[in-house]
Amino acid sequence: MSVERAARRRERLFRSQDGICPACRLPLPGDLAGAEVDHIIPRSRGGPDLLWNRRLVHFKCNRDKGTGLTDEAVALAAEHGVILREPPVRVRKHWRDWVPGVPGWLAAGEFARDN
Ligand SMILES: [Zn+2]
């Protein structure tokens, strides 16, 4: 995704949320510094990268959540028929970050099969 498209996506979420972080109910910074896109159902638990699963939160609020499932995530998964996966044994990052030969990372092909 281009930088411009990522920025537009964040601005759209910012407007749709009236500038409020849904995790802590406090305002997000107007310049979106320190805010990031969160997947309500974590990607590691089978959550898709779709608009209904995205929200903009403070960087810190996202770190606090980790791979845990909120009540909202469970409800959303039921609503959209998402099969929740077990939490990963190791923190899985995006396949683009995959580095060959580093223990604990899945092979690139395994990531592809997940989607
Ligand atoms: Zn917050």
Q: Are 32 and 69 in contact (CB under 8 A)?
A: no
End-to-end CA distance of the chain: 17
> In the chain, what are the domains?
3-87 (3.40.1800.10)
pTM to 2 decimal places:
0.68
Q: How far is the CA of 66 from the centre of ligand 1 (A)?
A: 14
Q: Which residues contact 59 (CB under 8 A, 6 or more apart)?
A: 34, 35, 36
Q: How far is the CA of 27 from the centre of ligand 1 (A)?
A: 8
The per-residue pLDDT for 5 is 86
Q: How far is the CA of 55 from the centre of ligand 1 (A)?
A: 11
The per-residue pLDDT for 99 is 60
pLDDT along the chain (115 residues), means of 10: 84 95 94 91 92 94 78 94 80 60 51 42
The per-residue pLDDT for 114 is 41
Q: Per-residue DSSP letters for 38-92?
A: EESS-GGGT--SSGGGEEEEEHHHHHHHTTPPPHHHHHHHHHHTPPPPPPPSS--
Q: How far is the CA of 12 from the centre of ligand 1 (A)?
A: 17
